[in-house]
Amino acid sequence: MDNNKLAELLFPNVKDCSFYENKYKERDLKEDAQVTRFAPSPTGFLHIGGLFSALVSFLVAKKSGGKFFLRLEDTDQERKVVGADKLLVSVLQKFGLQFDEGLDSIGQEFGDYGPYVQSERMDIYKSYAKKLVEMGLAYPCFCGDEQAKELEEMQAKDNTEKRGYYGKYARCRNLTYAEIEEKINKGLPFAIRLKCQYKLGDRFKFKDKVKGEIEMDANINDAVILKSNGLPPYNLAHAVDDHLMRTTVVIRGEDWLSATSEHSQIFEALNFAPIPYAHLPQLEKMDGTSRRKLSKRKDPEADASLFFKQGYPKEAIIDYLMTLINSDFEIWRSKNRNVSYLDFDFKLNKVSKSGSLFDMVKLNDVSKNHIAYLSAEEVFNGIMGWANAYDQDFAKMIENNEEKLKGVLSIDRGGDKPRKDIAKYSEVKDVFGYMFDDIYYSYNLNNFEFDFEKYNADLIKEVANHYLSIYNENDDKQEWFNRIKENIEVIGFASDMKVYKANPENYKGSVADYTTIIRVLLTSKKNTPDLSSIISLLGKEEMQKRFNFALKLINNQQ
Ligand code: GLU
């Protein structure tokens, strides 16, 4: 068979590959600089697993002084979702993952190695498919659904060890030029298959940058590398694009691991220098007692943008993903608060080799820690930014209560052991709602509950009035507590907890009961940051108002 003639018949007007090899020059980067990419398929929202993978690729490029680019893998036109490309880019940008090349959030391409959208690269794929035909390493396949079904039946009957398009089952592999020409003249659609050079029993070995030495059965299938619609499946697109875009390490999900043999065969056939792979573990979640992959359909937390809606700071999400990426990140972070995660000595070979558990409890913990070490001003700005985007009524309330909110956020902040109250900004309304008069009054109207068994309405009223009578707005935290202790014995409360515990029957309650009553009346919560600070923020007048309001509710309820 004259391969050149066949190649010309199949691909009459395409450029020679040398055109592209010259156009996309080797990158001029320092030795060891890595070129990585994030290559999502625009099929919907950004999956948290996608963010995980983008983050690793970003780190590898940034830490080595290399380049990080975006490539949109949209060759599966049926799964393409309109607008998903812009959404992916804008969510990644919100997380601070900036591309050196690729697409911006309005869909404009930038960079010297484009097009960065695969559906715009059809001519390039054709050139390389043609080259393979010229080399006698690829051929047209006219099999359709009917032939695929026949093949399946035949292999079931033969009980073959492997199913697929190979050996004697690869019926189009040995078509003659005349047969091919005849089919083409009839207008029959054709795909292009790679002529696999491996046989049953051959093994494939490689060193994965995350998983280490890997060995598997070599692919023996004549893989389709160009579909009958002219678009390549992932395999050829990956090989051609990563070669021409001068990627130095292919970082991708472990769901691609089993296809690595097939992909390497395409690199081999095209004489491309092999590019090392790093297969990342998938993110999993607990489902009952077992673990399963985070599912795009079933698990709301699979959508990376959900975390913004819930008000997690982006740095907290990144910190959490970093703990999954390198397990020693957490210790590093505890010693290096308030510095960029990019300062961490990240190592690709320390990424966990098997599935990583995406655990919301742990995420909340990491996020609480992150927020705890921010300044009150930073937390305030975070809350405001979140509220402006997702809860405008609350944003207005914050504007009217700026000082009070900043005040409560400042309590016990800044030391070695800061308070850890909130994991996400959407919790502020609940956790610090009492700082907003609107929330305090409307919430209490419907929900006010007090521990009536322990404290009756008369006692509560007595404590409230007593406290108003001893209150001094100039007290600091210590003076505040001392003043309470010095004055409560006269109304029958124990100022010393030990004394109280020895003989509780001698008292109406302890100093802890006394402050609890005040705390709940003013905030409707049993736990709050330092009460004396909250009282100074509210002021005497508001305190009086709240006492009256709460006591009325209690009277109505008892
Ligand atoms: N488009 C592929 C995916 O979304 C990309 C895999 C890769 O990074 O090569 O799974």
Cα(39) to centroid(ligand 1), Å: 5
Instruction: Pick the closest to residue 369 from 326, 327, 331 (CA basis).
Output: 331
422 or 77, which is more confident: 422
Residue 238, ligand 1, Cβ within 6 A: yes
Sequence-distant (6+) residues with CB within 8 A of 374 are: 313, 338, 382
Question: Given the structure tokens 């923020």, which residue do they identify?
Answer: 537
The whole-angstrom separation of Cα 71 and Cα 38 is 6
Taking 90 as the threshold, does the pLDDT of residue 314 lie above it? Answer: yes
Spacing, Cα 170 to ligand 1 middle (Å)? 28
The response to whether residue 40 sits with its C-beta less than 6 Å from ligand 1 reads yes
pLDDT digit string, tens, across residues 228-257? 999 999 999 999 999 999 999 999 999 999
Q: What is the pLDDT of residues 452-478, one digit of tens each?
A: 678 888 999 999 999 999 999 999 999
Per-residue model confidence as pLDDT tens digits over 156-199? 999 998 999 999 999 999 999 999 999 999 999 999 999 999 99
The answer to whether 48 and 301 are in contact (CB under 8 A) is: yes
* pLDDT higher than threshold 90 for residue 222: yes
Q: What is the pTM of this model?
A: 0.92
Q: What CATH architecture is 122-279?
A: 3-Layer(aba) Sandwich (3.40)
Decide whether any atom of ligand 1 lies within 6 Å of the 249 Cβ: no
The CATH code that applies to domain 284-372 is 1.10.1160.10
Please give the mean pLDDT across all residues of the chain.
Answer: 95
Q: In the chain, what percentage of residues exceed pLDDT 90? A: 88
* 382-390 contact pairs (CB < 8 A, 24+): 382/311, 382/313, 382/425, 383/311, 383/425, 383/428, 386/308, 386/311, 386/425, 386/426, 387/425, 389/308, 390/309, 390/311, 390/426
> Is the link from the previous residue into 115 a cis peptide, with omega within 30 of 0?
yes
| Cβ of 41 less than 6 Å from ligand 1 | yes
Ligand 1 centroid to residue 25 C-alpha, Å: 24
Q: Is 66 in the pocket of ligand 1 (CB under 6 A)?
A: no
CA–CA separation, 247 and 35 (whole Å): 5
List, in order, residues 6 or more apart from 275 with CB less than 8 Å away: 242, 243, 247, 248, 249, 250, 267
| Closest protein CA for atom 5 of ligand 1 | 39
In the chain, where are the structural domains located? 122-279, 284-372, 443-557
- Nearest protein CA to atom 9 of ligand 1, as residue: 252
Place of tokens 């009054």: 441
For 264, residues 6+ apart whose C-beta sits below 8 A from its C-beta are 204, 206, 274
What CA–CA distances, in Å, run from 13 to 63, 145, 192, 323? 43, 29, 17, 51
Least confident of 301-305, 380-384, 449-453, 463-467: 449-453
Contact between residue 413 and residue 376 where contact means Cβ atoms under 8 Å apart: yes
**Is 73's C-beta closer than 6 angstroms to any atom of ligand 1?**
yes
In Å, how far are 490, 498, 506, 507, 515 from 502, measured between CA atoms?
A: 19, 6, 9, 11, 20
Atom of ligand 1 nearest to the CA of 40: 4
For domain 443-557, the CATH architecture is Orthogonal Bundle (1.10)
Query: Which uninterrupted H or E stretch holds 516?
Result: helix 511-523
Pocket probe for ligand 1: among 68, 256, 279, 293, the residue whose CB has the most ligand atoms within 8 Å is 256
Q: One-letter amino acid identity for 248?
A: T
Tokens for 65? Answer: 């002084």
Closest-CA residue, ligand 1 atom 3, reads 40
What number of residues does the chain have? 558
Q: How far is the CA of 74 from the centre of ligand 1 (A)?
A: 10
